[in-house]
Amino acid sequence: ELHPWDLTDSLGISNAIKGSEIVYVTVGFPYQTKAWQALWPSFMRSVIEACKTHHSRLVFFDNMYMYDSGQLQNMTEKTSINPTSAKGKVRAELNRMIFDAVEKDDLKAMIVRAADFYGPFNTTSMLIETVFKPLKNGKKANWLGSVHCKHSFTYTPDAAKATAILGNDPAAYRQVWHLPTAKNPPTGKEWIEMAAREIGVKARYQSAGKMLVRFLGLFNPTLKELVEMMYQYNRDYIFDSTKFETAYKFTPTPYAEGVKKIVELEYRR
């Protein structure tokens, strides 16, 4: 059953949460620093208060923007929270808010985190928009940053299953979990080659460094917002989910299988 509500209306949020045993927060605000700063903290305060009032458990679906930029080569649940971007600082604030409520008010909550993600019918995935779609349309793939750096992506069907598993396990609360993500991630060039091979086209690509993205951002608002995040694309970005895999005997979907499934479902129908 679906209930639309205004995410800036605390009473509406409380009414939406009322009667819910588990609240999965998977919402996304516009990808704009000013919007995140204005909307995320007040929204999370309302969610936390509503969960406390209605005795609901909270599962917050998060990203890794708050992690120390020098530790992206081996991200675990214990990676230091030391954001270098404005968006990362917003995420760090949400982390503090949730775990302050866990410690002080006995809120039953957890944070689950994913790497950049990819999967079938995913229109907000950077990988889909910049690699799969251009290749399918006979154009060059557009890779942000260095094509020689490894980059983890979380397969969205795996993320959905894992989030449901965690939310329904009382022992999983009061901690952070990385959602299942395959090990040994491909480089940007290897991602492009895998996608091209499955689609049946030549692996043609162009890459954009920070200076070019900054210039293009003068004409494209989304690219403008990506400038501060370019540090994620000029070094290896490796997301470790050993904790979840071990606890729940879960094997993440291999990258080659995920790419094949996307092409089968979206481009060969």
Q: Are 81 and 69 in contact (CB under 8 A)?
A: no
In the predicted model, what is the mean pLDDT of residues 142-149? 95
Which tens digit of pLDDT belongs to each residue from 13-63? 999 999 999 999 999 999 999 999 999 999 999 999 999 999 999 999 999
Between 268 and 218, whose confidence is greater? 218
pLDDT at 220 over 90: no
* Residues in a beta bridge with 208: 144
In the chain, where does DSSP find H-type helix? 10-17, 33-54, 86-105, 126-127, 133-136, 156-167, 188-199, 210-216, 221-226, 242-248, 255-266
- pLDDT band at 110, cuts 50/70/90? very high
**Residue length, the chain?**
269
pLDDT over 90, % of the chain: 86
pLDDT at 269 over 70: no
In the predicted model, what is the mean pLDDT of residues 64-84? 98
* Residues in a beta bridge with 144: 208
Residue 2 maps to a domain = no
What is the DSSP secondary structure assignment for residue 83, as one 8-state letter?
-
Residue 180 maps to a domain = yes
Token duo for residue 153: 């992506």
Residue 123 maps to a domain = yes
H or E stretch at 130: none
Instruction: Give residue 68's Cα distance to chain centre.
Output: 16
Query: Could you tell me the residue range of the domain that residue 159 belongs to?
Result: 10-266
CATH number at residue 217: 3.40.50.720
* Residues in a beta bridge with 143: 207
In the predicted model, what is the mean pLDDT of residues 95-121? 96
pLDDT at 210 over 90: no
Scan for tokens 């460094």, then name that residue: 209
Domain count, the chain: 1
Residue 187 maps to a domain = yes
Residue 5 maps to a domain = no
Residue 1 maps to a domain = no
